[in-house]
Amino acid sequence: MRLGVDGSARRRGWRRRILPGCGTLLPADLAAKIVPGASAPQSQKFPPLQCTVSNQVQALQITVGPYDSVGPVTGAESVSGLGSAAYLMTQFVDDSYLTIDLSPDQGAIYVAVAGHDGTDHKADAIAVAQYVLAHLQ
């Protein structure tokens, strides 16, 4: 996978796997667990590429965009084994935001889980990221 400076996919085959309808990017079983009763996946057809499912309370969003050269924000937790670097941020116990840097020429993947249910979703965000990385190979 290669992304342009604006986050657009350079390899057409890779982009087709994401769009339309989120293709293989969305782990359906994990999404159903994280966001029960979710609407059909919504995809954004322009960069950055996004896939979102929501049930009006909880949401899961996967974004494929440009490389994050800034690095972790203060308070972010480092997660090993994902991309060249990965950082998990939790503003509330039930909201998790994971940034996975692949490389400057490959871009980054962002996973956001907004649970609004009092449940810790760190493991869910990491599981979704692992699925996405495995299916983009």
State pLDDT tens for residues 26-73.
888 889 999 999 988 888 877 788 889 999 899 999 998 887 776 777
Q: Is residue 63 part of a domain?
A: yes
Tokens of 35: 């966001």
Q: Is residue 3 part of a domain?
A: no
Q: Is residue 22 part of a domain?
A: yes
State pLDDT tens for residues 33-46.
999 999 888 888 77
Q: Is residue 5 part of a domain?
A: no
Q: Is residue 18 part of a domain?
A: yes
The structural domain count of the chain equals 1
Structure pTM? Answer: 0.80
Q: Is residue 126 part of a domain?
A: yes
Range of the domain at 77: 12-135
Rounded alpha-carbon distances, angstroms, from residue 83 to 2, 25, 57, 108, 121: 14, 16, 30, 8, 20
Q: Is residue 79 part of a domain?
A: yes
Q: How many whole angstroms separate alpha carbon 22 and alpha carbon 15?
A: 10
Q: Is residue 95 part of a domain?
A: yes
Q: E strands along 14-106, which residues?
A: 42-44, 49-54, 59-65, 77-78, 85-92, 95-103
